[in-house]
Amino acid sequence: MNQQALIAILLLSPLIGFFLNGVRFRSTNYVLAGSIATIAVLISFICSVLLFLNLVDLPPEARRITANFFEWIAVDKFKINAGFAVDQISSIMILIITGVGALIHLFSIGYMHHDKGVTKYFAYLNLFIFNMLILVLGDSLLTMFVGWEGVGLCSYLLIGFWFNDSAKAAAGMKAFITNRIGDAAFIIGMFILFMTFGTLNMHELNMLAPTIAESSWLGAVTLGTMMLFIGATGKSAQIPLYVWLPDAMAGPTPVSALIHAATMVTAGIYMIVRLNGLFIVAPNTMMVIAIVGAATAVMAATIGLTQFDIKKVLAYSTVSQLGYMFLAVGVGAFGAGMFHLMTHAFFKALMFLGSGSVIHAMHEEQDIRKMGGLRKYLPITHATFFLGWLAIIGMPPFAGFFSKDEILWKAFSSSQGHILLWAAGVLGAVLTAFYMTRLMALTFWGKSRVDKSVHPHESPWLMTVPLIVLAILSVVGGWVGIPHVISEQIGHIPNFWEHWLEPVIRKLPTVVEGAHHDETMLEWSLMGISVGLAAISALTAYIMYTKKEGASDKVAKAFGPVYQLVNKKYLVDEAYSAGIINPLIEGSKNLWYYVDVNVIDKATYKVTDLVRGGGSFVKSLQTGNMQQYAMYIGIGVVVALSFVLMR
């Protein structure tokens, strides 16, 4: 099949699914709605596989398939085509979006079967997939921005899907508004880059990027990339715009798996990797990205230690893992950032869907303090969740181990890296191992705390099959990027991931000096430290939450105010409310009262009174009385004659 036709089918299939379900959105036939939506995404997945195979057949330096469907904007020198490109980076993204997306659609058929708005739900999911594909395939920043805004809209619709609940509606609005702040910066970044390079085509921007790094904080490339990064902090939930993602758990659980774990929230990382040629010559921007990523990874992980809502724990875990990805791209390890993006999509989608299976079994209960001992009731959910747990805490040979330790090594050895960045990454890994083991223990292990009126049960096959597939990917997904230091010991297995991305990723030199043997020993040592500390942390959490009853309460009490501060999420939302939101509201009220009511309204009332008074006066002159008209004529004649005589 023609490659351009494949791209067209890839894009249009979920859009058609959206329209098919959209026109019958009041239907409650969940099997039909789910089948239409799932088949639409499955068709896109098949197209993605075919395009990927076409790329494999091309020479490494020529792996780029483009499709220009029509001229979209043509204003003087500003010309934008409705153009799309599939290369080494975007091909990975479309496989993740459509592959994981199809599994989540299948899971949703079982999870959402009871909901009256199920057809509308699947229409929204398909619309999201369409916009996400626009985002990753668009060959220009403006085309990407269309998808960028589209996924923001779909996120708002799906987070607030149960909008009759005011809290859920507010969560959707919070996500929408927070993302708009980042989007404003994204637009400014596009303006700066267009004024500098005369194009928004991402391939051309990478080609036109300076060869010498820009040292000034006010340079065009630095300012442009900094604005794009601010846009990424909104979409990918980094400090200070991360606050929307934990509240986004108000939506249906499969939404969290698709949008807030595997796809939309990784858009910021994808954008930076796509423009790595620009970002790599803006070291100041990259330093900010690395620091923000490391800080986000640690801060979100500490909050995860104190949460009891199963989805909130996973939400803060997502924010933390996204921080790892930004840490990677900030130190110039673009390939490692993309690698963790992929492995995270597997194990975090698995864990969100697993939490959905638990919630389904517990009759919508989400508090892990009311669970425990679910392993015997949900054997498949437990087994798959267990594999996802091993992957996220970075135990070898699971997927998360390879991508996480690649990031930590680059944070230490890259010329953009620093030992403090590595230390922050290790601390994040230790905290992740603790709170994820805590989640496992309180949910599946130990004594049952389930209310006697609740009878947990395993989910139907529509929900367990996606769990099994994602669990397998969480185990083997990292094997495509086995580090050289490990492959040398097990038969020189090639690093397929590195070879695949090499033609489109610029590299930074490492700062580790000395013999190859010394570097190898250092990498092994750092790897051993991170894995060892994570294992100790996981074991500590296991003992505390399964063997030592009441130990966690004693620890919480010992930390006192610190624990309370972390439990309240560092009062960041409260600070935003006190420092920004409430002053804006009060300021708006004052503007309304003193300007709108007392100036604008009163001015319009005065003008209205003047016009009405003038109209009443003119009306009084038109009485229909002929004698009165004759008098007016006489007065007019006298006045006219008087004027003539006076001259």
User: Is the model's pLDDT at 515 over the cut of 70?
Assistant: no
CA 124 to chain centre: 17
CA distance 581 to 177: 12
Angle at 319 between CA 465 and CA 185, to 5 degrees: 120
Would you state the structure tokens that stand for residue 435, as one six-digit string? 């709170």
**pLDDT for residue 616:** 83
Helix (H, G, I), strand (E, B) or coil at 631: helix
Percentage above 90 pLDDT, the chain: 72
Which positions ≥6 away from 39 have C-beta within 8 Å?
17
CB 495 within 8 A of CB 487: yes
Whether the pLDDT of residue 493 is over 90: the answer is: no
Q: Mean pLDDT, the chain, as a whole number?
A: 91
Is residue 492 over pLDDT 80? no
Neighbours of 454 (CB within 10 A): 14
Predicted pLDDT at 628: 78
- CA 188 – CA 300 distance, rounded (Å): 28
**How many DSSP H helices and E strands does the chain contain?**
28, 2
Mean pLDDT across the stretch 287-296?
A: 97
pLDDT tier, 409 (very low <50, low <70, confident <90, very high otherwise): very high
Report the pLDDT value the prediction gives residue 509, as an integer from 0 to 100.
65
User: How would residue 252 be classed by pLDDT, with cut points 50, 70 and 90?
Assistant: very high
Q: What pLDDT is stored for residue 514 in this prediction?
A: 47
Q: Which residues pair with 84 in a beta bridge?
A: 67, 138
500 Cβ neighbours under 8 A, 6+ residues apart = 88
414, β-bridge pairs: 510
> Which pLDDT score is estimated for 615?
84
pLDDT at 63 over 50: yes
- Alpha-carbon dihedral sign for residues 49, 469, 132, 296: negative
Question: pLDDT tens-digit profile of 581-605?
Answer: 899 898 998 888 888 888 898 899 9
pLDDT grade, residue 227 (50/70/90)? very high
Amino acid at 373: G
Question: Given pLDDT bands bounded at 50, 70 and 90, which one contains residue 490?
Answer: confident
Question: In whole angstroms, what separates CA 618 from the centre of its chain?
Answer: 65
Give the pLDDT mean for 168-195: 94
If pLDDT is split at 50, 70 and 90, which confidence band does 631 have?
A: confident
Whether 116 shows a pLDDT value over 60: the answer reads yes
pLDDT at residue 247 above 60? yes
DSSP labels, 175-194: HHHHHHHHHHHHHHHHHHHH
User: How would you class 9 by CB atoms within 10 Å of its CB: exposed for 0-12, middle for 13-18, buried for 19 or more?
Assistant: middle
Measured distance CA(322)–CA(55) in Å, rounded: 28
List of residues 6+ apart from 61 with CB closer than 8 A: 503
Mean pLDDT throughout 341-348?
95
Which of these, 113, 116, 26, 168, lies nearest to 356 by C-alpha position? 113
Residues in the chain: 647
Q: Compute the average pLDDT of residues 296-306.
A: 95
* Domain spans in the chain, listed from the N-terminal domain onward: 140-567, 581-646
How far are the Cα atoms of 143, 201, 387, 453, 524 from residue 138, in angstroms, in the given order? 5, 9, 35, 52, 40
Residue 74: the pLDDT is 85
pLDDT(491) > 80? no
Q: Which of 426, 427, 420 is nearest to 291 (CA)?
A: 420
pLDDT of residue 513 exceeding 70, the answer is: no
Give the burial string for 31-66 (b: 16+ CB within 10 Å, else e): ebbbbbbbebbbbbbbbbeebbebbeeeeeeebbbb
Residue 443 CB coordination number (10 Å): 25
pLDDT tier for residue 487 given thresholds of 50, 70 and 90:
confident
Alpha carbon of residue 251 to chain centroid? 14
